[in-house]
Amino acid sequence: MTLPSGHPQPKCPRHVAIIMDGNGRWAEARGLPRSAGHKAGIDALRRAVRAASAAGVEVLSLYSFSTENWRRPKAEVAFLLSLLRRFIRQDVADLHAEGVRIRVIGARDDLEPSLVRLLAEAEQLTKANTGLTLVIAFNYGSQQELARAARKLAEQVAAGTLAPQDIDMARLGAALDTSDLPMVDLLIRTGGEQRISNFLLWQCAYAEFVFLNLFWPDFDAAAFDKALADFAGRDRRFGGLKARSA
Ligand code: FPP
């Protein structure tokens, strides 16, 4: 792809996913409760949305609460749930004004009906926006998502509306929560750990990984740009031999 000037298009990932890790350690290092780290994490989340929009990224997926996070102490779980409510209530109007489309992925069954309604309203309000798509992964687990998709297809087979031989990658991809989204190009994880933690396993099949040695509340536009620069320097071959343009 080239720009009108004839220069090659700088390689910008279409879909960036972030594992926002290190809130607790950020707080503990300051002698603060873990909740203060999560609160500061919301400010970092806002910075990430702004930086992704400015860079021309199409989709930003944020791992906000995993299916495994229910194992945390009750008070911390309650705090994260209330933080999501507060974030949606406080920010949805601004995000809408900025043209951001909100999508929420993950299982809704274990969430309170009032929270499910709030999330659905935010999605509904912003669904026609054409700016950044902000994917909030909440009560999300990739293996659970794949199992849900397999069940959906099995139900169609049982109902006689789908033949087993018609199940292929496209069908399975279309049964996932992310059916309308491109594959992940760049996965960023803060907090110093180098693992994927059940986040977008299918969607990260050919993602480039960038691990940042900073706690999530310290994430800013400079860190985002550094990750993008790192990505731009990668040679993506998608299993082939020659580099493709992004
Ligand atoms: C990991 O930090 C972070 C999370 C469990 C979730 C990320 C949450 C936020 C950024 C704020 C909430 C956002 C929404 C939209 C509700 P950690 O607690 O595992 O940190 P640690 O590894 O240092 O303990």
The domain total for the chain is: 1
Report if residue 34 sits inside a domain.
Answer: yes
Estimate to the nearest angstrom the gap between the alpha carbon of 196 and the chain centroid: 12
CB of residue 187 inside a 6 A radius of ligand 1: no
Phi–psi pair at 27, nearest 5 degrees: -70, -45
Report if residue 216 sits inside a domain.
Answer: yes
Atom of ligand 1 nearest to the CA of 41: 10
Structural domain for 188, as ranges = 15-141+182-232
CATH number at residue 211: 3.40.1180.10
Let me know: does 123 contact 103? Beta carbons within 8 Å. yes
Q: Shortest CA distance to 202 belongs to which of 61, 21, 22? A: 61
Residue 102's pLDDT is 98
CB of residue 25 inside a 6 A radius of ligand 1: yes
Let me know: does 9 contact 245? Beta carbons within 8 Å. yes
Q: Say whether pTM exceeds 0.75.
A: yes
Distances (CA, A) of 74 to 70, 80, 144, 216: 8, 10, 22, 22
- Active-site residues, by number, are 21, 69
Q: Shortest CA distance to 132 belongs to which of 51, 199, 188? A: 51
pLDDT tens digits, 10-49? 589 999 999 999 999 999 999 999 999 999 999 999 999 9
